[in-house]
Amino acid sequence: MKKLIIFFILILFPLATYPFWIWSPKTQKWKNPKYSPKASPFLQFKEGEKYFAEQKYKDAYKSFKKVIIYYPDAQEAAEAQYYLGRCLEELNQKYQAFLEYKKVIDSYPNSKRINEIVERQYKIGEYFLNRQPKQWLGISLYDLVEHPSIEIFKKIVEKSPYSSYAPLAQYKLGVLLLQFNRFEEARDAFQKLIDTYPESQWATPAKYQLAIATAKASFGVDYDSTYIEEATTRLNEFVKKNPQAQITNEAKDQLKQLRNKEAKKNFDIAKFYEKQQKYKSALIYYKIIIDDYSDSDYYDIALERSKKLYDFLEGKITKKELIKKQK
């Protein structure tokens, strides 16, 4: 009985496996048609198209992948590479889709899909830009790894600098860097937009954002007027050229903050000299505030302090009275 069972197993096993595994005299190997490519890149591509139309995106992805693996130089390869990205987008694997689209631009720069691909890459960048990052123990994921939109926008500008989405991607890159307090990098991004795409509709708001980034960068610089002067100049220029712009009020507020910061710098120097009893030196800096920063929060106090110092220097009050009034 046992031998009879073994006999039937040996007979039936080849019948059961035959539809899946076939011996190839040419390669001298067993092959499974399920995992093997079609006889031509055209047929292989058409299989992928069929699955894609049926919304069987995983099967479509596998079929298009076979075109790339087995027929990389075929005419259908570029289109198959494009559809790999489409399949991953439909499967909500956005970043992986971006990487597949990037391969089309890198490997098939003459593809008819380039403009569409750049648009799709930009939309993926926007998707991550507007998506709330995952949190882990109260820490944002993007505190640990680079934000994907930064990479995507950079690649659009780098690989497709003449596309209609390049200046917009450059602008969004600057905005994102500004949000992450990477002020120096934001300044470079906005400056690149202004220099590279001066006729773009994004050049004007980039000038404003450049001033903002410059201003924010200056907040970490002690007694260095370089950034503040540059930002003030740019903001003044923007306000004059764009009096009706929606962001002008914000620009004016930012300009006032900058002038206050510069006034405070002069005020602190004046106080330092006053404590050192170098009253004439102190008066120089109080006078700067009075003459140049009358719209600042330090104007009234600078005016009051300078009046008392003049009174002392002219002998109208004693040093004891001056110190008392300082307190």
Structural domain count, the chain: 1
Long-range contact list for 235-240, CB < 8 A, 24+ apart? 235/208, 235/211, 237/207, 238/204, 238/207, 238/208, 238/211
**Residue 302 belongs to some domain of the structure:** no
Whether residue 11 has pLDDT greater than 50: no
Q: Of 32-36, 87-91, 185-189, 310-314, where does mean pLDDT reach its minimum?
A: 32-36
**Residue 258 belongs to some domain of the structure:** no
Structural domain span for residue 5:
1-33
* Banded model confidence at residue 18, pLDDT cuts 50, 70, 90: very low
The candidate with the shortest Cα–Cα distance to 172, out of 127, 237, 239, is: 127
210-230 pLDDT tens trace:
888 887 777 655 545 666 677
Q: What is the pLDDT of residue 322?
A: 65
Q: Average pLDDT for residues 278-307, to the nearest whole number?
A: 88
Virtual torsion, Cα 137, 139, 145, 146, nearest 10 deg:
150
* Banded model confidence at residue 309, pLDDT cuts 50, 70, 90: confident
**Residue 20 belongs to some domain of the structure:** yes
* Banded model confidence at residue 165, pLDDT cuts 50, 70, 90: very high
Q: What is the pLDDT of residue 86?
A: 98
* Banded model confidence at residue 89, pLDDT cuts 50, 70, 90: very high
Virtual torsion, Cα 243, 244, 247, 249, nearest 10 deg:
60
Whether residue 134 has pLDDT greater than 80: no
**Residue 286 belongs to some domain of the structure:** no
Whether residue 31 has pLDDT greater than 60: no
**Residue 253 belongs to some domain of the structure:** no
Q: What is the pLDDT of residue 326?
A: 63
Q: What is the pLDDT of residue 28?
A: 55
**Residue 198 belongs to some domain of the structure:** no
Whether residue 162 has pLDDT greater than 60: yes
**Residue 25 belongs to some domain of the structure:** yes
Q: Are 155 and 121 in contact (CB under 8 A)?
A: yes
Rounded-to-integer distance, Cα 253 and Cα 298, Å? 16
Q: Of 41-50, 82-91, 189-198, 234-243, where does mean pLDDT reach its minimum?
A: 234-243
Rounded-to-integer distance, Cα 108 and Cα 76, Å? 11
Q: What is the pLDDT of residue 108?
A: 94
- Alpha-carbon torsion (62, 64, 68, 72), positive or negative: positive
SS3 per-residue string spanning the chain: CHHHHHHHHHHHHHHHHCCCCEEECCCCEEECCCCCCCCCHHHHHHHHHHHHHCCCHHHHHHHHHHHHHHCCCCCCHHHHHHHHHHHHHHCCCHHHHHHHHHHHHHHCCCCCCHHHHHHHHHHHHHHHHCCCCCEECCEEHHHCCCCHHHHHHHHHHHHCCCCCCHHHHHHHHHHHHHHCCCHHHHHHHHHHHHHHCCCCCCHHHHHHHHHHHHHHHHCCCCCCHHHHHHHHHHHHHHHHHCCCCCCHHHHHHHHHHHHHHHHHHHHHHHHHHHHCCCHHHHHHHHHHHHHHCCCCCCHHHHHHHHHHHHHHHCCCCCHHHHHHHHC
Q: What is the pLDDT of residue 223?
A: 43
* Banded model confidence at residue 140, pLDDT cuts 50, 70, 90: low
Q: What is the pLDDT of residue 13?
A: 45
Q: Of 124-138, 244-258, 290-304, where does mean pLDDT reach its minimum?
A: 244-258
* Banded model confidence at residue 146, pLDDT cuts 50, 70, 90: confident
Model pTM score = 0.70
Q: What is the pLDDT of residue 10?
A: 45
The candidate with the shortest Cα–Cα distance to 160, out of 81, 105, 83, is: 105
Q: Of 14-23, 55-64, 296-305, where does mean pLDDT reach its minimum?
A: 14-23
More confident residue, 120 or 135: 120
Q: What is the pLDDT of residue 154?
A: 97
**Residue 11 belongs to some domain of the structure:** yes
Distance of CA 113 to the CA centre of its chain: 24
Whether residue 1 has pLDDT greater than 80: no
